[in-house]
Amino acid sequence: MNAPQTKIEATSDRSLDNISAVVGIGHSDWRADYAAVRGGGKPTDSYGYGAVSLKRALADAGIDKSEIDGLIVGSPTSYERASELYGLAPRWGMQADSSQAIVAAMMAVKSGLCEVVALVYGNDQQSAKVQYGGPQAMGGGSNLSYVYHAPFGLTSQGALYALMQRRHMELTGATESDLGQVSVGQRAWASHNPAAIMKDRPLSLESYLSSRYIAEPLHLSDYCLINDGGVALIIMEKSRAKRQGRKPVTIKTAARYDLHGGSTTLRPRLMDFYHTGHTVVSQQIYNAVGLGPKDMDALLVYDSFSCHIPFALEGFGFCGIGESGAFMRETGIGPGGKLPINTHGGHLSESYMQGWAHQIEAVRQLRGEAGLNVPDCRNIQYISDVVGRVYSIIYGVE
């Protein structure tokens, strides 16, 4: 059902590779807003978090709002209302998740539909008390697996990943200590990141293992944060970006492969761990740039739950199937490790911005402006496989 299709070869005139660049990034004050919301406040709404981020991204890029002629907004906000509130008159625009937003911006720039694209995400999920499980679980309109099984007792996105993790442990012999390296490593990165919500909350493997279960085998620290906030990026053609004055970060390539067959009953998760998609996408992106997993200076993985990381490492060929625990231990994924993973702290420890903050961390690392910079960072790979949409993007600097 999910057999890989023939290899997709990018041709020179149709390829999106190496056309676009990120020239500006911005985000809201995640730590302050997290504290404010916990204290019962509501600093602003999803549009407001987007506005704060967009203003900072424009300043970072050194351009005026009037130069924006394309707009992509994240799923919590309406494209039309965002255009109105942000005072934009785009020639082209849409709503998208973080991965699709980057790909769409590449397509729009390449095709000439617009020249300067603002990507703006804002989400008030914490203050609006968005539910990711239980009787009021969100997302059922798009993904039936999020809501269908509630009468039978299964709810929450974490539980879907816990089912994957249990099967992975049973089939490969992986342990909770293997998985714990992810939360511990990312927390260590977050301790260097002034923007990370969990910056001052160190986590040892011992405290990880003794923390409470939510959906066993997943512990509390395997779950992402829930917080309000926003992220924005400005993307334009690389040649124009070079004239902009700042060192542009090139979007070298991107690819996608979807697995939806039997998705309500979790078939592509439980029978495949999404590896079919990982395989196809990895072949396409690594071929496109002539690089492989060993050439990546850092890896950013969409981590609503920690177990995304071992599945991605095994699926994209960083290690063999079932070898991710030993690989992470021997290679090192935290500060000083040979394969730094989620160097901002990720969704687990920095901010849950549904993949958007991973994109700006790629830029910060490649500019050398991160909380803790990976030495000589030239190529960064992003991987996301949320509900069967497998994406990967490679960012780089020349």
Partner 1 sequence: MLGPRLYSPFDETMWKSIAEGGMRIQRCDECSTYRYPPGACCPNCLSIDFGWEPISGNAKVLSWITYHKQYLPAYPAPTTIVAAMLDEGEILITNIDASETDKLSVDCAVRVVYGDHPDGYKIPRFTLATQTS
- Closest approach, Cβ 180 to partner 1, in A, equals 17
196 vs 189: CA distance, rounded Å? 9
Nearer to partner 1, 168 or 364 (CB): 168
Nearer to partner 1, 158 or 337 (CB): 158
Nearer to partner 1, 69 or 176 (CB): 176
- Closest approach, Cβ 168 to partner 1, in A, equals 9
Nearer to partner 1, 199 or 308 (CB): 308
Nearer to partner 1, 258 or 295 (CB): 258
Render 130-184 in DSSP notation, one character per residue.
Answer: --SSSTT-S-TTT-GGGTTTGGGT--SHHHHHHHHHHHHHHHH---HHHHHHHHH
- Closest approach, Cβ 218 to partner 1, in A, equals 8
Nearer to partner 1, 91 or 167 (CB): 167
Nearer to partner 1, 175 or 265 (CB): 265
Give buried/exposed letters for 177-191 (b at 16+ CB in 10 A, else e): ebbbbbbbbbbbbbb
- β-strands 116-123, 249-258 pairing: unpaired
213 vs 182: CA distance, rounded Å? 16
- Closest approach, Cβ 147 to partner 1, in A, equals 8
Helix axes 275-289, 308-315, angle to 10 degrees: 60
Give buried/exposed letters for 218-231 (b at 16+ CB in 10 A, else e): bbebbbbbbbbbbb
- Closest approach, Cβ 169 to partner 1, in A, equals 9
CA 144 to chain centre: 22
- Closest approach, Cβ 262 to partner 1, in A, equals 7
232 vs 50: CA distance, rounded Å? 7
CB atoms within 10 A of CB 383: 28
- Closest approach, Cβ 155 to partner 1, in A, equals 5
- Closest approach, Cβ 324 to partner 1, in A, equals 18
- β-strands 249-258, 70-73 pairing: unpaired
Helix axes 98-111, 356-367, angle to 10 degrees: 70
The residue ranges that bind partner 1 (CB under 8 A) are 133-135, 144, 147-156, 159, 162-164, 166-167, 170-171, 212-218, 261-262, 264-267, 270-271
Nearer to partner 1, 149 or 246 (CB): 149
188 vs 202: CA distance, rounded Å? 7
